[in-house]
Structure 1
Amino acid sequence: MNRLALVAVAALTLSAPAFAGDYRAGGIEVRRPWTRPAQAGMNGVGYLTVTNVGTKPAKLLSVESPAAKSVTIHQSSMANGVSSMRAVTGGLTIAPGATIAFAPGGYHLMLMGLTSAQALGGKVPLTLVFDGGRKLRIDLSVEAGAPKADPMTGMHMDH
């Protein structure tokens, strides 16, 4: 590949978003939102990472979606070899600089009563509702498993 082509590829790569499914509004950043395939009428699950990059605490109060009859925040835990899951009431407060991971085995979103199938490669719309009336509209990518990390993360180009 000639030098001009390499420069063009580098410019396109560096101008692309960090990850196709990342969102930011105000002091809230959401990375890698995803879900697994599921049939209509069944329950689904949502995963993502929420970071408060602002200077004040933010509280995630609820989650809404036209793709499910209801969406609730849940937390899984393990105690004495027994796994349990419970709904989180009162929301989740995210301190400035803190990150909450919604991942298998921990916090997650339960999409109860899916109104349509979640097919591989599809998108599931969600609205995260925060204190103060703030809302952030995102899409969960329907994946067979967790999305791979961004290959450009940590990469530095020195010239």
Structure 2
Amino acid sequence: MTRLLTTAFALAAIVAPSTTLADDYKLGALTIRQPWSRPAQAGMNGVGFLTIVNAGKTPVTLKGAESPAAGKIEIHQSAMAGGMMTMRRQDAGVVIPAGGQVAFAPSGYHFMLLGLKQAQGVGQKLPITLVFDKGRKVRVELIVQLTPPSGQAASEHEH
């Protein structure tokens, strides 16, 4: 019986989805929640997701992001248009409304990490710095995992 339970627990650990919980980060009235990324090979492009909550009374603009782990980071937005998935760079940034939030999630806003310098494996942490208006910055770590954290929807659209 003990051997059967041990085998069952081992099997459950193997087939269970990745549930690593990322830390929340604060910058004034902003909270950055559940930052995560998918595994990717060195030299390839990666993707980053998170949610930004603005508890303040004024909107805040996310202007961009940077990381020593990638050659460049761009903010993109995916959307369905005429039955086709499209992706556009958000060069003007993304406004986080006062008292609101914006999710960076599959099939929506996301960070494209161009030219990864090292392979990103499950469980690793990928540092990025979010750059907001008025020169404000906050460093967060994307947790590399296979599936979205609880509460974030998976996507049929893959990069």
SS at match of 2:44: coil
Deviations, residues 69-94 of structure 1 (Å, cap 9, x unaligned):
00000000111111111101111111
Number of matched residues? 131
Distance 2:76 2:47 in 1: 10
Deviations, residues 18-67 of structure 1 (Å, cap 9, x unaligned):
x6421111011100000000000000000000011112211100100111
SS at match of 1:132: helix
Report the equivalent of 1:136: 138
Gap runs ≥5 in structure 2: 1-20, 152-159
Distance 1:78 1:56 in 2: 30
Over 3 Å counting, the alpha-carbon distance change for 1:82 and 1:123 in structure 2 is same
Report the equivalent of 2:48: 46
TM-score, structure 2 length as denominator?
A: 0.80
Q: Contact 1:41 / 1:113 at 8 angstroms: preserved in 2?
A: yes
CA positional deviation for 1:148: 2.4
What value does the CA root-mean-square deviation take over the aligned residues?
A: 1.0
Report the equivalent of 1:60: 62
Distance 2:82 2:57 in 1: 38
Distance 1:95 1:148 in 2: 24
SS at match of 2:63: strand
Report the equivalent of 1:154: none
Is structure 2 residue 103 aligned with structure 1 residue 101? Answer: yes
SS at match of 1:70: strand
Report the equivalent of 2:14: none
Report the equivalent of 1:25: 27
Corresponding letter in the other structure for 1:104? P
Is structure 2 residue 83 aligned with structure 1 residue 78? Answer: no
Report the equivalent of 1:111: 113
| Bigger radius of gyration | 1
SS at match of 1:39: coil
Gap runs ≥5 in structure 1: 1-18, 150-159
**% identical equivalent positions:** 53
Distance 1:59 1:106 in 2: 17
SS at match of 1:60: strand
2:90 to 78, 88, 91: 88
